[in-house]
Structure 1
């Protein structure tokens, strides 16, 4: 019998990645977009999907066109969310995650999330609660862990 590969992730690595995930949430909630440079690699890919696998879309201001929540770089994601989430108040809450080592410099992480968001100018309308999972890969670069890829799967949403 061939022994299973060692997929155990050292606690220091898990804590470093948890710190990056918390910074991701804090940056989104405070709209401190520059912090994403400390979270994700410039070439990080990110896609946000519904439970059925369809990519989440956002209707643009003209009301006729929409944009998918699919980004090939960190800066694409930041530019999009800066524009669309600017007037929103939000709170992202994530669990402590589960981890699997892919290689010496890559780790898979899965975080469960609940997010609450709404327009700061509205007390009743324009609010949403959503929950799901972040499936992510982190890469170690120059001794520090960075988000390499993110796939969000929305399992719950209510308006």
Structure 2
């Protein structure tokens, strides 16, 4: 089953917004891209958690993700870049995607502190609810 053009465009637009909202600290808009019950996992190439989020590498909801990022990113600037997406239509209301994301991050106003470049593949499940496609199962890894 092929993915409809309109669905592809919607998802690609939301991936671009994901990057822009994260880079400009628009956390309310960023969180709105996800279903409320979305749990986000951060995994390394071996499938192990790599973010310091307590005992787990999973953030249990979109709101928790927003709260976490507000604390972390308001002292940092970042730029995210998304590569081309792969699409798989699972059923009428579910689409899985894989894409690369590269980011650069640094503390604002100082050459000291945290500065880095990273990236990986984003594995996401997009779900249509009430005609709107939102990501419901993002996994950021390898």
Which TM-score bucket, shorter chain as reference? Answer: over 0.9
Asked if the contact 1:48/1:69 (under 8 Å) is kept, the reply is: yes
Output the CA distance in 2 between the equivalents of 1:78 and 1:48: 15
Shift in alpha-carbon separation, 1:15–1:43, aligned structure 2, 3 A: same
- Residue 136 of structure 1 is aligned with which of 119, 124, 135? 124
**Under a length normalisation based on structure 2, what TM-score does the superposition of the two structures give?**
0.93
Q: Alpha-carbon deviation of 1:126?
A: 1.8
Matched, 1:118 2:106: yes
Structure 2: distance between partners of 1:90 and 1:147: 22
Post-superposition, which runs of at least 4 consecutive aligned residues in structure 1 deviate over 2 A?
66-69
Tell me the TM-score normalized by structure 1. 0.83
Greater radius of gyration (CA): 1
Bigger strand fraction: 1
Judging changes above 3 Å, is the alpha-carbon distance between structure 1 residues 29 and 68 closer, same or farther for their aligned structure 2 residues? farther
CA contact (8 A) 1:57 1:67 kept: no
CA shift for structure 1 position 45: 1.2
Q: Aligned-pair RMSD on alpha carbons?
A: 1.5
| Residue 42 in structure 1 maps to residue 71 in structure 2 | no
Match of 2:95 among 95, 107, 114: 107
Looking at structure 2, the residues matched to 18 and 147 of structure 1 have their Cα atoms a distance apart, in angstroms, of 12
